[in-house]
Amino acid sequence: MVEPLRSIGEHGVIGDMETAALVATDGTIDYLCWPNLDSPTIFADLLDPEKGGGFSIKPKLAHARNLQLYIPDTNVLITRWLAEEGNAEIVDLMTDPETQVGRATPLRGIIRRVTAIQGTVEFEACCAPRFDYARQVPDIEDIDGGVRFTGSDLSLRLFSSAPMTLGRGEASSTFTLEAGQSAWFVLGDDGLQRPDNERVEAEVEATTSAWRNLAAKATYTGRWREEVLRSALALKLLTSRQHGSVAAAATFSLPETSGGERNWDYRATWIRDASFTVYAFMRLGYVEEAQHFAQWAGKRVMASDEEHPLRIMYALDGTEAQDEQELSHLAGYANSRPVRVGNAAHSQTQLDIYGELLDSVYLSNKYGQAISHQGWQHVRSIIDYVMEHWEEPDAGIWEIRSEPRHFLHSRVMCWVALDRAIRLATKRSLPAPLVQWADCRDRIKEDVWANFRHPEHGYFVQERGGTELDAALLMMPLVRFVSSTDPVWLQTLDAIGEQLSYDGLVYRYRNQDGLDGKEGAFTTCTFWYAECQARAGRLDEARLTLAKGMRYANALGLFAEETDARGLLLGNFPQALTHLAFISAAFFTDRQLDPGHKANWQP
């Protein structure tokens, strides 16, 4: 395995709810898509340190210790260097668009404020963007007080309080600061005007205040408040301010195994995440965010018909997700090839999405606005589809790239779709063939109990007639398909603990999925496992699983998609589904540990 220049876990993330950047502990922005999260990269050193492009700022401090932290209750990141001869720090942020309303000269971009905290410190900075997934080295020219980078379809401006020297597609600077002195760099679109020192300081303060105001809306006050709030703030970074959609992750093609081929693009919104997102935002008191996402999902439903069926994922603006393509010119993180953008899974059949979608519709109606007449007609169309297709094989929640199978999770979620539609119709007195729906719902449950059990041990299994386990089974009690204390379910939970779990790490499955190589433990499943333990009354086990799971975040409390056997981060980062699952597990476990405390929200 080739060791990467910077590991996935050695990063913080900043953003403006339009895009997001990864900032490494050595002060380099080595991943950024611009102008949107699903646009091509302008910095991709994380995926190819030779070609990808980056924006580095480094103090010349021998044997310095590096630390990263967020200004409390914000997504404003501080990277620090501590050494015998001096200390230094960088404050990184993207400006908040709402603070720009009414300004004659809006400032949308990245601010990097550099400060010598102690001693006299010399710094070296280099901004070397590479446009269009590092396929273009931009032209560079001097402009008044800064430089312009120009490519075929994009132009950026960089301003600095320190003098800059132009090179081939890059601007560099060497400068010295005394203790208490600061310098700054501002990178943004071609319309950006040079700010003065006062404007930069004002933007730092305004953005910090905006994040604090958002954090203050959270109503969760349980024992894991700091960790839960960090997850909420991470989710906001993955949320589209304009559309309300939530990206699965900020990145693409970070591998599930270093050097392997399981490298996918997660810069899209999965319908599957719908109910998890609504649950998490509702539980934390972010009602507007939950409703905004529900409206986005609802529009996808309203736009679907027989000619344009509901997709498992969409671009952040709600259009068709990108087709998959390989970027053969990039080396890949730790030489993990191929580097992929787009995702071929968008055209798969995954029957479980209807259950997750209808669960979110039910929640949104229960705690928000009533469904419209037209919306209900679309729900009925979805139920018609589920009733016609629930017995068919599909690609499943894990998006296998082999022949479709009869997955238990997909079958259960078809049951959820019918169950939530029946509940919604009953609650809102909506017209529906309830007897027919209930009959189909019950037939699905009977099918699961009859055909998805281990032939010898009796616990639930991954697929019809099979013997393998699947961590997706952990969703069964979470969606109320089976009681969390049912003896067969407890057998299943024990089997998952014995066969798929190791020291708080939970693997999705052990059998073949049509791809070469192996993958790491799936961090989302750790928190599903913890919540199942809590629901089963195994609170001591749940607390320990939660404690171990939280340590599989990086030092900032950010989770990646997976971890290796050493607990090091793998896969796309930060991953929304893991943060959503953690919020759910922490909320429920906290409530069980303190049953006398009145919860702020009941599922």
Residue 581 has pLDDT above 80, yes or no: yes
Task: Give, as one character, the DSSP assignment of residue 575.
Answer: B
Query: What residues pair up with 66 in beta bridges, in sequence order?
Result: 81
What tens digit of pLDDT does each residue of 434-483 get? 999 999 999 999 999 999 999 999 999 999 999 999 999 999 999 999 99
User: How far apart (Å, rounded) are the C-alpha atoms in residues 382 and 112?
Assistant: 48
| Nearest CA-CA partner of 121 in 183, 169, 55, 172 | 183
Residue 84 has pLDDT above 90, yes or no: yes
What tens digit of pLDDT does each residue of 150-182 get? 999 999 999 999 999 999 999 999 999 999 999
Residues 6+ apart with CB under 8 A from 81: 27, 59, 61, 64, 65, 66, 87, 88, 89
Task: Give, as one character, the DSSP assignment of residue 219.
Answer: -
| Nearest CA-CA partner of 578 in 553, 547, 603, 556 | 553
User: How far apart (Å, rounded) are the C-alpha atoms in residues 175 and 466?
Assistant: 65
What tens digit of pLDDT does each residue of 288-302 get? 999 999 889 988 888
What tens digit of pLDDT does each residue of 364-375 get? 888 878 899 999
Do 300 and 276 meet the contact criterion of CB atoms below 8 Å apart? no
Q: What is the mean pLDDT of residues 98-125?
A: 89
In this prediction, residue 4 carries a pLDDT of 83
Q: What is the mean pLDDT of residues 184-202?
A: 95
What tens digit of pLDDT does each residue of 102-115 get? 677 778 999 999 99
Domains in the chain and their CATH numbers? 11-193+206-215 (2.70.98.10), 225-593 (1.50.10.10)
Return the higher-pLDDT residue of 400 and 105. 400
| Nearest CA-CA partner of 172 in 135, 131, 129, 130 | 129
Task: Give, as one character, the DSSP assignment of residue 10.
Answer: S
In this prediction, residue 601 carries a pLDDT of 43
Q: Which range has the worst mean pLDDT, 189-193, 571-575, 581-585?
A: 189-193
- pTM, rounded to two decimals: 0.96
In this prediction, residue 602 carries a pLDDT of 46
Count CB atoms within 10 A of the CB of residue 252: 26
Residue 300, token pair as written in the block: 């996808």
In this prediction, residue 3 carries a pLDDT of 76
What tens digit of pLDDT does each residue of 201-248 get? 999 999 999 999 999 999 999 999 999 999 999 999 999 999 999 999
What tens digit of pLDDT does each residue of 35-52 get? 999 999 999 999 999 999
Return the higher-pLDDT residue of 275 and 18. 18
Kindly state the helix (H) or strand (E) to which residue 577 belongs, with its residue range.
helix 576-593
In this prediction, residue 125 carries a pLDDT of 98
377-398: buried (b, 16+ CB within 10 Å) or exposed (e) per residue?
ebbbebbebbbeebeeebbbbb
Give the gyration radius of the chain's Cα atoms.
25
User: How far apart (Å, rounded) are the C-alpha atoms in residues 148 and 112?
Assistant: 17
59-71: buried (b, 16+ CB within 10 Å) or exposed (e) per residue?
bbbeebeeebebb
User: How far apart (Å, rounded) are the C-alpha atoms in residues 461 and 470?
Assistant: 7
In this prediction, residue 207 carries a pLDDT of 96
In this prediction, residue 259 carries a pLDDT of 86
What tens digit of pLDDT does each residue of 487-536 get? 999 999 999 999 999 988 999 999 887 777 778 999 999 999 999 999 99
Residue 598 has pLDDT above 70, yes or no: no
Residue type, 301: V
Q: What percent of the chain has pLDDT over 70?
A: 98
E strand residue ranges, 415-539 = 501-502, 505-506, 521-522
Q: What is the mean pLDDT of residues 343-347?
A: 93
- The mean pLDDT value of the chain amounts to 94
User: How far apart (Å, rounded) are the C-alpha atoms in residues 17 and 313?
Assistant: 19
| Nearest CA-CA partner of 41 in 151, 202, 195 | 151
Return the biggest CA–CA distance within the chain: 78
User: What single string gives the DSSP state of each residue in 324-346?
Assistant: PEE-TTS--GGG----EES-GGG
Band (pLDDT 50/70/90 cuts) for residue 87 is very high
In this prediction, residue 512 carries a pLDDT of 80
